[in-house]
Structure 1
Amino acid sequence: MFQQKIDGLDNALSYVRKRANYPYLKENLAQLASIDTEVLISYELINKHSHTNKELNHIMCALLLIKQALDIHESVTEGNLTSEKMRKQRQLTVLAGDFYSGLYYRELAMLEKPQLIEIFAEAIAGINQARANSYQALQAGKFKIENLILAESYIHQHLARYFGESTEYINVIKTAMTLARLKGNKNNVIDVKIEAKNLWIQFLETELTKQLNKIKNGELSDRLKNHLTALIQPKHEGELIIL
């Protein structure tokens, strides 16, 4: 399992787990989990610009929980359900997504930074549109990698711009997060319908290699750069971090 004991990442994750803890959902739904690449990018980006542990914890918690909420809503099945048990499961899944959406807003509200709430809201709308576009395109037998990139990394892109990060930095994180998703073997509707998935993975590996070579020294921590270098390797699939 992905381990980091060097700094405040464990403390930030402990805070997220405490805030997300709801026994009924734990008993009836799969555990919350994020891909290690997403967690590390989130932490490194926020930690780089946070002035206090409180600020770090609240933004990190909001970011990971809203991504969970969006992923949960994306996983909800469509069409007719054949049993009452399946209908209840779908209803519970939707409610779980709504619950974590509410938590993300509460975390940001505690910081009293309205601009952050606006940034998240705009990005969430963009992600929902990108996922709808992806689904429609796949139904028509087409796939645009741009839609998946937006769906996976739009909040992080917005947050990076808010913090004043460079275009090169933003290119790295959006490519890395999309690559990590494709390598993570998700079973959501969008992922299972993507044709020539391995070719897209190879394309993103090549792009990320180029982008890492372009970025300035010091923009990425050694830990993050080493992690992304490993992500490029063909057999690297990433790990899940339980939230």
Structure 2
Amino acid sequence: MLHPDYDMKEVATIEQQFKELSAHSYLQQYAGYVEADRDLVYFLLECLRDAPFNKEEKREQILSALFAQAAFDTHEQVFQGDIVNQKEKKTRQLTVLAGDYFSSIYYRLLAKSVHQPILHLFSKTIQSINETKMELHCYEGESFRKLLDHIRDIEAGFIFALTTYYEKKELEQVAEIFFTLRRLLKERKQVAHKKLTSIAYALHWYAEGEKTFTAFHWPPANTKRLLDQAIQTYEELLQKQLQTVSPTLKNTSLYERLHAWVGLRKSEKI
């Protein structure tokens, strides 16, 4: 029987609270609407399942992680290339402001004394993720393994921090595979014109041997081949990991979601 905190009603409640807290019409006009990361919600619910907090306090920690991640995702949209007109300049400024706004919300959610250890943990995690992103901007294509490790640290940074804090080693192992895979799939999506994120920039530099902040007909052939190989490896790793998880984890909505996700990925290839 699934834990009662994991039903869709709880997920929907958290997503609705995120929507209400993030609503700001002026910023949305330029930065767009930001949705709660539903996959992260499921992982965090499982991570906090046995934590010594009431439901409201657990929601505060989950929402704080969602807003910290939203801040990173929003700042990532800031184009690093040259600005050609005032509209682009204003959009860049307001996108940065939107990311800062989400950061302020995560900080406010952890204002209670009961969350002080987590606030400290998040501060260290944010610093670590920022340092990793700076390393990607200086990446010289020396190691694809190192690049994959950087993607893992950026994409699963908050869930890593919390799974370590709450001693959820098995959950950490699943998360590092899943969130790395999810990001690789995102970067492989074909578009006619792409403004490169720090991750896409590093992937392009490693595969194509060229430094650029924009690309046409993304992904280029070498980058796509590299991504295809990495995605296949991580899909196989995730399938094996889900086959070997403990009965406790198998009896959760998170496992059901991941198992269905793997099944959907398989059916797409048939």
Tell me the TM-score normalised to structure 2 length. Answer: 0.77
Cα pair 2:151 2:199 within 8 Å, conserved: no
- Structure 1 Cα separation of the partners of residues 66 and 80 of structure 2: 25
- Structure 1 Cα separation of the partners of residues 49 and 153 of structure 2: 23
Aligned-pair CA distance for 1:126: 1.3
Aligned-pair CA distance for 1:121: 0.9
Cα pair 1:127 1:150 within 8 Å, conserved: yes
Residue correspondence of structure 1 range 63-78 to structure 2 within 5 A? 63-78=65-80
Residue 189 of structure 1: aligned partner: 197
Could you say what the CA RMSD is over the residues aligned between the two structures, in angstroms? 2.4
Q: Which has the higher contact order (CA 8 A, sep 6+)?
A: 1
Does residue 135 (structure 1) correspond to residue 143 (structure 2)? The answer is no
Amino acid at match of 2:198: I
* CA 1:104–1:151: 2 relative to 1, 3 Å: same
Cα pair 2:152 2:180 within 8 Å, conserved: yes
- Structure 1 Cα separation of the partners of residues 250 and 101 of structure 2: 33
Residue 32 of structure 1: aligned partner: 34
Does residue 198 (structure 1) correspond to residue 201 (structure 2)? The answer is no
Tell me the TM-score normalised to structure 1 length. Answer: 0.85
- Structure 2 Cα separation of the partners of residues 210 and 86 of structure 1: 45
- The partner residue of 1:149 within 134, 149, 152 is 152
- Structure 1 Cα separation of the partners of residues 18 and 46 of structure 2: 16
Residue correspondence of structure 1 range 39-188 to structure 2 within 5 A? 39-49=41-51, 51-110=53-112, 112-137=114-139, 140=141, 143=144, 144-166=147-169, 168-185=170-187, 188=196
* CA 1:183–1:217: 2 relative to 1, 3 Å: same
* CA 1:221–1:127: 2 relative to 1, 3 Å: farther
Residue 242 of structure 2: aligned partner: 212
- Structure 1 Cα separation of the partners of residues 198 and 267 of structure 2: 21
- Structure 2 Cα separation of the partners of residues 191 and 148 of structure 1: 7
- Structure 2 Cα separation of the partners of residues 236 and 135 of structure 1: 36
- Structure 1 Cα separation of the partners of residues 67 and 89 of structure 2: 24
1:178-198 deviation digits (Å, cap 9, x = unpaired):
212222347652343423112
Amino acid at match of 2:231: I
- Structure 2 Cα separation of the partners of residues 65 and 158 of structure 1: 15
- Structure 2 Cα separation of the partners of residues 236 and 175 of structure 1: 20
- Structure 2 Cα separation of the partners of residues 222 and 105 of structure 1: 29
Aligned length: 232
SS in 2 for 1:33: coil
SS in 1 for 2:156: helix
Amino acid at match of 1:59: Q
- Comparing 19-28 with 179-188, which one deviates more in the overlay? 179-188
* CA 1:171–1:116: 2 relative to 1, 3 Å: same
Cα pair 2:31 2:74 within 8 Å, conserved: no
- Comparing 95-104 with 10-19, which one deviates more in the overlay? 10-19
Aligned-pair CA distance for 1:110: 3.0
* CA 1:181–1:39: 2 relative to 1, 3 Å: farther
* CA 1:47–1:9: 2 relative to 1, 3 Å: farther
Cα pair 1:172 1:208 within 8 Å, conserved: yes
Larger radius of gyration: 2
